Amino acid sequence: MNPPRTTPGPDRRRLVLWRHGRTSWNVQDRAQGQADIPLDPVGRRQARRAAPALASFEPAFVWSSDLDRARSTARELAVLTGLGVRLDARLREYDVGIRQGTTFAEFRRSHPEVYERFFAEENYRVPGAELPSEVDERMTAVLGDAAAALGEGRTGVLVGHGAALRSGLLAFFDAPPRMREMFAGMANCAWTVLEEHPQRGWQIVDYNARTLPGASSALADEMPPHHVSKDAPAPP
């Protein structure tokens, strides 16, 4: 992978969206949602190894989901930069309701009717869960606040979760839900870079960047139905 570009230009602002490291539930393909699952040993190593690349952006601030797996990832960057970490619950993963803790196969067996509607309806509310549109709303709000907090030529890092970050990214650009199919899931400890062009506005200049060979890309377990195929195998 090419090293990150650390100088966006004298006046360009930048947002870096960083997904947390691996957890044991990522390995088991279980929907984590807002369960407070910690990083596993591999996830802690991923965060430690990726942090220098994020530090090279010379961030002005670090905001993080308040869930442990994101906080622990953000902490590795804070150690290198000397910055405090601002916790923001708007950066949390989807609340997946009754899907929490299950694999897709378990979800299908235990709630077959809900499973079918989950894949058939674009903005369906799984019992106990957030609507995809509600996640889009809170993620758009926090990305907008982060952008507004940036001075000229400065970078902000937001640490969160795969499904919410990808949904929030598309919502930030007001893209229709069907366009999410164009983007692969963000790998554990991968990041996406947005940069503000002086004429064209915010642009995606890097997506799913990572420093780790063979990093896991598992995230589909959190996704609403327009993100995954019900006939597809569980994510790696």
Residue 55 maps to which CATH number?
A: 3.40.50.1240
Residue 102 lies in a domain: yes
Q: Is residue 33 part of a domain?
A: yes
Structural domain contains residue 233: no
Do the domain assignments include residue 4?
no
- Which amino acid is present at 166? R
d(CA 145, CA 150): 9
Query: Which structural domain range is residue 127 located in?
Result: 14-227
Q: Which of 6-15, 47-56, 182-191, 197-206 is predicted least confidently? A: 6-15
pLDDT higher than threshold 90 for residue 100: yes
Please tell me which residue, 181 or 123, carries the higher pLDDT value: 123
Domain-embedded: residue 232 = no
pLDDT of residue 131: 96
The per-residue pLDDT for 180 is 78
Total structural domains within the chain: 1
User: Within a domain: residue 1?
Assistant: no
Mapped onto helix, strand or coil, the DSSP state of residue 209 is strand
Residues 6+ apart with CB under 8 A from 165: 17, 19, 139, 158, 186, 192
pTM of the entire structure? 0.87
- The model's pLDDT over 175-215, given as tens digits with 9 standing for 90+, comes to 987 787 788 889 999 999 999 999 999 999 999 998 755 44
Sign of CA dihedral 106, 107, 110, 116: negative
Q: Residue 43: helix, strand or coil by DSSP? A: helix
Q: How far apart are CA 42 and CA 207, in angstroms?
A: 22
For CA atoms 163, 166, 171, 174, give the dihedral sign.
negative
Q: Is the pLDDT of residue 224 over 70?
A: no
Q: Give the separation between CA 70 and CA 47, rounded to whole angstroms.
A: 10
Active site residues: 20, 93
Are the C-beta atoms of 208 and 190 separated by less than 8 Å?
Answer: yes
In a domain, residue 236? The reply is no
Is 235 part of any domain?
no
